Amino acid sequence: MTQLGFFFDADACMGCKACVVACKDVHNLPVGYKLRKV
């Protein structure tokens, strides 16, 4: 299985988890499913 990277700017991160919500939305993941901890 190919491992993918995850890039984010830690200096710009406010801890709002909008990136997590956007990822779940794009990939149509069910509630409670977690790919990574941010």
pTM over 0.75: no
pLDDT tens profile 1-38: 687 777 778 898 898 988 888 888 988 988 888 776 66
**Residue 29 near residue 35, CB atoms below 8 Å:** yes
Q: What angle do CA 23, 29, 35 make, to 5 degrees?
A: 60
Q: Which two tokens stand for residue 4?
A: 């993918």
